[in-house]
Structure 1
């Protein structure tokens, strides 16, 4: 290589390095501005919140507690919050247990799934391969599901691969890709590019719903843990969530002639097959949570200098009403309608 080329290469490297430095400083400045503008959050002991119906979530208030597991009472969801000791990428909880997907720091972060006790303190941890996406539990806490991206980092991408695993009593079952899946026409889904994600459990510790996909087609599937099978119910439904009474499944739906990565929330009546589009018309890329049998929760990111934070929104499940913020500075909500103390041995 000539001296001239070496000089040009050195100049290019220097410019790139300078741009990186400027970008990092800008991001830090924006984060500092946002953190300074974030409201002061009142705190209460975790035991006080867990003594009654509550909501568990990932705290999105910028500052020292950003990313930590948190909880508020359902009676005052916008009020004082309790913080756990664990930081979570995704979190879910029931009256008897919880699950927190954790991340280590560093250039190449590693992930783990932590089991939580009824007090939401970690009891054990196991490695988790891939970038965390979804986490759910059955009502009794016996079944746990996690979805990670093995390649890619978004369901809007043209190419990605997921790994979805169900754990029974702490024991991993095989990846859902190895289970038998039947399409609406009765044929088996055997495509090499099949993916599964977004599990939600029924109360019988056997039935579950999830997303199956191949290429650009997605299906809502109903599965059986005992039989290791899934059957497609309809297309264009992703990240399902089963209502507390088991009568409806809510999901994000790809509309006709969709723009990649644009979804609309919908609810399906499992008895009649009637589908209802909800009043939330913004793009929601989340697995919704049922607040009760009549309303849904989901997180939406903010914009501008607050793009690193988000809020938990509420909308009626019958298509009526107007979306409203239930918990500011929060994501990954999990509703616990019973007191945690009632589920302790």
Structure 2
């Protein structure tokens, strides 16, 4: 065998291993590489303007140059030109002055990381994730960061999935994995071995909400977390991926409305924290597997796959009171954060 033949075999094996490790086949891997090699299919603005004024920060999923990179649009013109910067992310969350990027680094042995950047694109902190990036939130004052990663599985519809959800401070302190916190359900301390946590949303620099899931019973809980006491206390059942409204009075979340496992269907819902009442927003009939964001106190945002286009998504808006129909908010976008400068 010639040296050239050996090199080709090694190269082919490397690509095959890459596909197995990342869930992307050989053809899919080349398609992924090609997505960012052509001119962008959307109108772009100067990257220098990306962190200016009131804006929506998101992951750009428009095919062509800038695919998968952090972008923003003006809050008063979400359909207008987007400013795209160099950082590539699977999930992004932002506040004024800083943003957090969750990233899968493809290779023979994939690496998964969370990185805090300032608005000038300078790296502030970085730490490893336990698996495939899933959710990220930054606290209102920008001091706390929560991340969720899949240790096994690749979606919340996967049977036997396992997550790791951690909280970090923006000055580099690790507040630990939520699995190490004390879980209180219906007033009693419990220690199930099959618990998972995901979808953190912050109230302030001490208190947060999250989802606790018990895989043996299939029960999910909205839990209130306390960083000082390291406790998680159940508030309600059947709440996944909570998101606190700007006025702090309601939780937007996804609720299972039909199916289970691979056939599960999630619908957006709103819970009033004072009364515990829940309104399911059944004007949205599509399957919403996302952590909802709030545009303002009256409107929610969420991402959906673009039908028939692999790797592309759109951000949609919906009235939080259940009135009206879903509206396309930002084309070719994912993981929105509303930032008011």
TM-score bucket (shorter structure): 0.7 to 0.9
Q: How do residues 248-327 of structure 1 correspond to structure 2 at under 5 angstroms?
A: 248-255=250-257, 258=260, 260-278=263-281, 279-304=283-308, 306-327=309-330
Deviation at 1:174, TM superposition (A): 1.8
Tell me, yes or no, if the aligned pair for 1:86 and 1:122 is still in contact at 8 Å.
no
Inter-CA distance 26–251: structure 2 relative to 1 (3 Å threshold): closer
Tell me, yes or no, if the aligned pair for 1:43 and 1:80 is still in contact at 8 Å.
yes
SS at 1:119 equivalent: coil
RMSD: 2.3
Identify unmatched segments of 5+ residues in structure 2.
1-15, 20-24
Tell me, yes or no, if the aligned pair for 1:85 and 1:121 is still in contact at 8 Å.
no
Tell me, yes or no, if the aligned pair for 2:258 and 2:265 is still in contact at 8 Å.
no
Tell me, yes or no, if the aligned pair for 1:46 and 1:71 is still in contact at 8 Å.
no
Q: Distance in 1 between matches of 2:32 and 2:246?
A: 41
Q: Indicate whether 1:142 and 2:146 are aligned.
A: no
Tell me, yes or no, if the aligned pair for 1:210 and 1:239 is still in contact at 8 Å.
yes
Q: Indicate whether 1:51 and 2:55 are aligned.
A: no
Q: Indicate whether 1:205 and 2:209 are aligned.
A: no
Deviation at 1:227, TM superposition (A): 1.3
Tell me, yes or no, if the aligned pair for 2:221 and 2:234 is still in contact at 8 Å.
yes
Q: Distance in 1 between matches of 2:108 and 2:32?
A: 21
SS at 2:49 equivalent: helix
Greater RCO (CA < 8 Å, at least 6 residues apart)? 1
More strand by share: 2
Q: Distance in 2 between matches of 1:265 and 1:281?
A: 9
Q: Distance in 1 between matches of 2:109 and 2:28?
A: 23
Inter-CA distance 163–325: structure 2 relative to 1 (3 Å threshold): same
Deviation at 1:233, TM superposition (A): 1.1
* Consecutive aligned runs of 4 or more in structure 1 exceeding 6 Å deviation: 29-36
Matched residues, number: 314
Deviation at 1:39, TM superposition (A): 6.6
Deviations along 1:36-84, one digit per CA (max 9) or x if unpaired, are 8x97322222443422100000000112311001111111111111111
Inter-CA distance 189–171: structure 2 relative to 1 (3 Å threshold): same
Q: Distance in 1 between matches of 2:256 and 2:95?
A: 30
Deviations along 1:236-256, one digit per CA (max 9) or x if unpaired, are 110000001100000001126
Partner of 2:162: 161
Deviations along 1:252-284, one digit per CA (max 9) or x if unpaired, are 011266564321110001112111111212111
Partner of 1:171: 173
Partner of 2:338: 335
Deviation at 1:230, TM superposition (A): 1.1
Partner of 1:10: none
Q: Distance in 2 between matches of 1:103 and 1:258?
A: 28
Deviation at 1:220, TM superposition (A): 0.7
Deviation at 1:123, TM superposition (A): 2.9
Q: Distance in 1 between matches of 2:121 and 2:160?
A: 36
Tell me, yes or no, if the aligned pair for 1:58 and 1:332 is still in contact at 8 Å.
yes
SS at 1:177 equivalent: helix
What's the TM-score, normalizing by structure 1?
0.85
Inter-CA distance 148–30: structure 2 relative to 1 (3 Å threshold): closer
Identify unmatched segments of 5+ residues in structure 1.
1-16, 340-345
Partner of 1:7: none
Q: Which moved more, 1:54-63 or 1:44-53?
A: 44-53
Partner of 2:239: 237
Deviation at 1:307, TM superposition (A): 2.2
